[in-house]
């Protein structure tokens, strides 16, 4: 049976200029990226599944959605086990502060009544709700006092509620006084995001992002904000590897509700999948558009649709991450290999009830090019080793390599001698580089058995 290895070893060979690329390992004069199978960024199999978004919250009395919120002081445990002070919301008088705060869910047209009590010492706290639902409270509520905020949920969408526009409101938000407000549409409220059939979904996901600089949390009222340098990044109050995974099935349509509760921007992407952007800040676009990654400013929300492929392999995982990469660690903590460990804002969509995994093909275990810098006028030697002993155990049959693009005809092919391990020596002709621009050239190698 013919198998192909879906994990390519990527060799970066340079034309004219050697560039230092982030995440690339230098081996001699050659820049080699690690094979995907060696990267330990998959969600732990024991990672908990994300809880579903509630269909509704608070209490419905007639057409009034009555909610209770308390602002409280609390602590949050960081990935290294230390704790920092936070200010957070809770919807229970005996509850503890949480970041983000509890999700509020109402239906379009309802009157939302929020009874808010402030229990944070020394702070005047007000509430603000997205999309200009109400006139802002510039005064706030004193310690131990309660105020009632009332507005009409006039438009469906994903919004942010947060500490309002008081003198210290911005710092209160940075300490954790924010959460998600979801307004469901009048039409098909549990199956659409908006009153438009193009927003239909099978499963709903809420991801709330924020960051923490422990120095700010330790002294929020005197900290110089120009020195704000976060070192921890969270999704729904958790940093990888404690983030929750999203369980999906082949062909399922996911509504992704994103809320950027922090002060940094995000570049949101799902590796291996496209997203269709429906709206930002609760305002649906006249025409949805597809993205690989989309920037979210501080305090913004975004709704997208993601369609899971069908068929797709069981337990396949799609990372959800910040593409700028600087928010994917936990204060620079090192892993067992001495390198900065993966952390921060990364989670996974994991496929359940998918197709059984295909048999693995041969691995490319070593590779080298010589010379490693060329002007494109001379041939380049390519040497690599194929090994199927730890995968299928079948004898090798053939190999191929590509330059830069896997969607083209292979640049070179060849047969093997029929063993399970073999080192191949071949030549990349100078003519293969004639149409390539100066810069990095990625060589993809694949073996068959």
So what's the pLDDT on residue 45? Answer: 56
More confident: 315 or 174? 174
Residue 324 banded pLDDT, cuts 50, 70, 90 = confident
Distance CA 24, CA 357 (A): 29
φ/ψ region of 278 (left if φ > 0, alpha if ψ in -120 to 50, else beta) reads alpha
So what's the pLDDT on residue 31? Answer: 32
**DSSP assignment letter at 7:** S
Three-state DSSP class for residue 170: helix
Q: Which residue matches tokens 């469901």?
A: 184
So what's the pLDDT on residue 417? Answer: 85
Whether the pLDDT of residue 377 is over 70: the answer is: yes
H-run or E-run covering 210:
strand 203-212
> Partners of 301 in the beta sheet?
259
Q: How much is the average pLDDT of 255-262?
A: 98
Which residues, 6+ apart, have CB-to-CB distance to 35 below 8 Å?
Answer: 7, 8, 9, 10, 363, 364
Distance CA 448, CA 386 (A): 9
Model pTM score: 0.75
So what's the pLDDT on residue 132? Answer: 77
Q: Among 152-156, 278-282, 414-418, where is mean pLDDT lowest?
A: 414-418
So what's the pLDDT on residue 102? Answer: 98
Distance CA 305, CA 291 (A): 11
Q: How much is the average pLDDT of 213-228?
A: 97
Q: Which residue matches tokens 């310690």?
A: 143
Distance CA 41, CA 325 (A): 13
Residue 390 banded pLDDT, cuts 50, 70, 90 = confident
Whether the pLDDT of residue 27 is over 50: the answer is: no
Neighbours of 224 (CB within 10 A): 9
Nearest to 182 by CA among 307, 279, 53: 53
Distance CA 272, CA 291 (A): 12
Three-state DSSP class for residue 415: strand
Percent of the chain's residues with pLDDT above 90? 69
Whether the pLDDT of residue 105 is over 60: the answer is: yes
CATH 2.60.40.420 residue ranges for the chain: 59-191, 199-351
Distance CA 257, CA 231 (A): 25
Distance CA 320, CA 189 (A): 26
Q: How much is the average pLDDT of 203-227?
A: 98
Topology given in CATH for the domain delimited by 59-191: Immunoglobulin-like (2.60.40)
Whether the pLDDT of residue 34 is over 50: the answer is: no
Whether the pLDDT of residue 342 is over 60: the answer is: yes
Q: What pLDDT digit, counting tens, does each position of 162-182 carry? A: 999 999 999 999 999 999 999
User: Mean pLDDT score of the chain, rounded to an integer?
Assistant: 88
Q: How much is the average pLDDT of 143-154?
A: 97
So what's the pLDDT on residue 294? Answer: 97
Whether the pLDDT of residue 17 is over 70: the answer is: no
Q: How much is the average pLDDT of 195-221?
A: 98
Which residues, 6+ apart, have CB-to-CB distance to 397 below 8 Å?
Answer: 2, 415, 416, 418, 448, 449
199-351 classified as CATH 2.60.40.420: yes
So what's the pLDDT on residue 359? Answer: 66
Which residues, 6+ apart, have CB-to-CB distance to 191 below 8 Å?
Answer: 200, 201
Whether the pLDDT of residue 29 is over 50: the answer is: no
H-run or E-run covering 217:
helix 214-218
Q: How much is the average pLDDT of 40-58?
A: 80
Q: Among 335-344, 352-361, 372-381, where is mean pLDDT lowest?
A: 352-361
């Amino acid at each position: 049976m013919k198998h192909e290895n879906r994990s390519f070893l990527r060799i970066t060979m340079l034309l004219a200029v050697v560039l230092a690329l982030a995440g690339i390992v230098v081996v001699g004069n050659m820049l080699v990226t690690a094979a995907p199978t060696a990267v330990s960024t998959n969600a732990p199999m024991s990672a908990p599944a994300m809880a579903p978004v509630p269909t509704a919250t608070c209490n419905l009395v007639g057409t009034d959605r009555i909610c209770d919120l308390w602002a409280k002081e609390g602590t949050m445990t960081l990935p290294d086990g230390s704790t920092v002070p936070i200010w957070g919301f809770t919807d229970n008088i005996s509850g503890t502060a949480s970041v983000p705060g509890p999700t509020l869910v109402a239906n379009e047209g309802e009157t939302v009544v929020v009874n808010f009590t402030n229990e944070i010492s020394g702070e005047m706290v007000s509430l603000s709700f997205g999309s200009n639902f109400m006139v802002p409270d510039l005064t706030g509520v004193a310690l131990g006092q309660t105020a009632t905020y009332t507005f009409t949920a006039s438009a469906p969408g994903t919004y942010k509620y947060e500490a309002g526009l008081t003198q210290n409101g911005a710092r209160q938000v940075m300490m954790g006084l924010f959460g998600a407000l979801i307004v469901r549409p009048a039409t098909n409220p549990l199956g659409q995001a908006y009153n438009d059939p193009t927003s239909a979904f099978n499963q709903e996901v809420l991801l709330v992002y924020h960051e923490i600089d422990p120095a700010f949390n330790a002294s929020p009222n005197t900290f110089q904000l120009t020195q704000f340098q976060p070192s921890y990044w969270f999704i729904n109050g958790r940093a990888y590897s404690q983030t929750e995974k999203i369980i999906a099935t082949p062909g399922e349509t996911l509504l992704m509700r994103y809320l950027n509760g922090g002060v940094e921007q995000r570049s949101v992407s799902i590796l291996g999948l496209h997203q269709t952007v429906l709206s930002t800040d609760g305002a649906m676009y006249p025409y949805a558009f597809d993205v690989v990654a989309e920037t979210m400013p501080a305090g913004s929300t975004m709704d997208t649709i993601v369609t899971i492929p069908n068929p797709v392999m069981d337990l396949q995982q799609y990372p959800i991450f910040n593409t700028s990469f600087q928010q994917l660690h936990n204060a620079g903590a090192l892993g067992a290999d001495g390198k900065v460990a993966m952390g921060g804002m990364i989670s996974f969509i994991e496929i359940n009830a998918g197709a059984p995994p295909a048999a693995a093909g041969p691995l490319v275990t070593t590779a080298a090019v010589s010379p490693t810098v060329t002007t494109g006028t001379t041939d380049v030697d390519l040497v690599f080793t194929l090994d199927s002993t730890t995968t299928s155990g079948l004898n090798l049959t053939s190999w191929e390599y590509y330059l830069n693009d896997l969607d083209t005809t292979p640049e070179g092919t060849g047969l093997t001698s029929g063993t399970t391990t073999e080192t191949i020596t071949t030549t990349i002709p100078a003519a293969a580089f004639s149409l390539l621009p100066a810069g990095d050239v990625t060589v993809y190698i694949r073996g068959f058995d």
